[in-house]
Amino acid sequence: MVRNGYDVAVIGAGVFGAWTAYHFQRAGAKVALLDRHGPANSRASSGGESRIIRMGYGPDDLYTRSAQASLRLWLDFFDQIAPGQIAHDPLQRLFHRTGVLWLAREDDTYSEATLGTLQRNKVRFERLDQNALHRRYPQLEIGPTFWGLLEPDSGVLMARQSVRAVVSQAVKIGATYFREEVLAPAGKGKLKTISTTEGTTIEAGQFVFACGPWLPKVFPALIGNLIHVTRQEVFFLSLPTGRQASAWSTTPVWIDFNDLVYAMPDVDGRGFKIALDAHGPLFDPDEGERLPTAIGVAAMRRYLAERVPSLKDQPILEARVCQYENTSNGDFLIDLHPDFENVWLVGGGSGHGFKHGPVVGRYVKALIAGDGVVEPRFTLATKGTWRQRQVF
């Protein structure tokens, strides 16, 4: 079957693809959106239940400003689809303003740089000394050299539900969604059509491949060695009951980049969420088993024994295995394919990309429309085969 006349075909209905399709459709383009497993499916990097949205990025104003704009776009979108929901219905919220707490050490240059970046960009924050941390968060074993940086307006996005809401809204205003697998394009010059394994042919003027961990598989010769897909384990633990339970009701998200750990409060009934942010082993999103390892469980419990003793023996309620698609330094990859004049590559979320979905989609739309300013850090030319993460 041939489907003709699309202005843009977006391949991949994760957060980058969903927002790209939505922005184009809202601007009046005719959009086709394709994903073989469905929006925010369990294989996708956008497929988990929750993601942090924070403003802090060390000295990196680029991502701080992007996160600020993205939060506004997320909240505007949520209010558009369900006015008042954010404020009034905790069971239906797609954003939870839990606050985000950075745990820092003495002479912690990254956290100090984050403080400066937040100041420059007028992000509301509090710097908390040791006494304030102990007083507010007695459940955390802070240690004598720690101080804290709290972003009170940041929090948790309900990832899977949010991506599906963006796709649903794009379809509602006119986009066409296909649950089909797209075959890799061949040739050079101007691509006219793409084909799916189900026999559908899609004709479009522009093609955006926002395939997450599958992007290196679709274009192995070009970026197979430039994006490294790694296995990441996430755990949800039961919370203590009785006298200790009340302390957890106001716990923010916290980030400890010195130990490469992040954690979230129980915002959706799945329990306390914790994950080690260090890059795991290489992982195939199609063939890889998504079960936690004994090594991962042990590492998680060692951290809890030091930082949150009351949780170290709590039962695991659920576990997830997702993946990061890491570029050489953690910057996104958003660029034109060098062999095609109308094929765009969008990926390299590198474990921190989810929050930026609205701004990434807007940026892609502007580039294709010809009125965007190219960000050199996102170009293909800046990507290497090494792995030396600089964006956290």
Taking only the tens place, the pLDDT of each residue in 185-196 is 999 999 999 999
* Confidence at 345, pLDDT banded by 50, 70, 90: very high
pLDDT at 297: 98
Looking up tokens 């940086």 gives 149
pLDDT at 242: 76
* Confidence at 143, pLDDT banded by 50, 70, 90: confident
Alpha carbons 24 and 39: distance in angstroms, whole number:
17
Name the token pair of 74: 């997320």
Instruction: Check if the beta carbon of residue 154 is closer than 8 Å to that of residue 53.
Output: yes
* Confidence at 362, pLDDT banded by 50, 70, 90: very high
**224: how many CB neighbours lie within 10 A of its CB?**
14
Strands 155-158 and 95-96: antiparallel
All structural domains of the chain with their residue ranges: 2-47+160-225+328-382, 98-156+228-326
- pLDDT of 245 strictly over 80: no
What is the pLDDT averaged over residues 292-305? 97
Looking up tokens 């992000």 gives 123
Alpha carbons 300 and 130: distance in angstroms, whole number:
24
* Confidence at 387, pLDDT banded by 50, 70, 90: confident
Alpha carbons 214 and 212: distance in angstroms, whole number:
5
pLDDT at 142: 84
Name the token pair of 180: 């089909």
* Confidence at 170, pLDDT banded by 50, 70, 90: very high
* Confidence at 43, pLDDT banded by 50, 70, 90: very high
Name the token pair of 198: 């189900």
**CA nearest 161: which of 267, 316, 306?**
267
- pLDDT of 90 strictly over 60: yes
What is the pLDDT averaged over residues 273-286? 96
What does pTM read for this prediction? 0.96
**CA nearest 346: which of 358, 334, 356?**
334
DSSP string, 220-281: HHHHTTTSEEEEEEEEEEPPP-GGGGGGGTTPPEEEETTTTEEEE--SSSS-EEEEE-S---
- pLDDT of 87 strictly over 60: no
- pLDDT of 254 strictly over 70: yes
pLDDT at 88: 59
Mean pLDDT of the chain: 94
* Confidence at 4, pLDDT banded by 50, 70, 90: confident
Compute the half-sphere exposure of residue 298: CA atoms within 13 Å on the CB side of its CA: 3
pLDDT at 92: 78
What is the pLDDT averaged over residues 330-335? 98
Instruction: Check if the beta carbon of residue 211 is closer than 8 Å to that of residue 347.
Output: yes
Q: How many helices and strands in the chain, by DSSP H and E?
A: 10, 18
Q: What is the CATH number of domain 98-156+228-326?
A: 3.30.9.10
Report phi then psi at 311, rounded to 5: -105, -5
The fold of the 2-47+160-225+328-382 domain, in CATH, is FAD/NAD(P)-binding domain (3.50.50)
Largest CA distance in the chain: 67
- pLDDT of 10 strictly over 90: yes
DSSP state of 4: E
Q: Indicate if the alpha-carbon torsion angle 158, 358, 65, 345 is positive or negative.
A: positive
Q: Indicate if the alpha-carbon torsion angle 208, 213, 214, 219 is positive or negative.
A: positive
Alpha carbons 360 and 166: distance in angstroms, whole number:
14
Q: Which residues contact residue 75 at a Cβ distance below 8 angstroms, ignoring those fewer than 6 apart?
A: 86, 95
Taking only the tens place, the pLDDT of each residue in 146-169 is 899 999 999 999 999 999 999 999
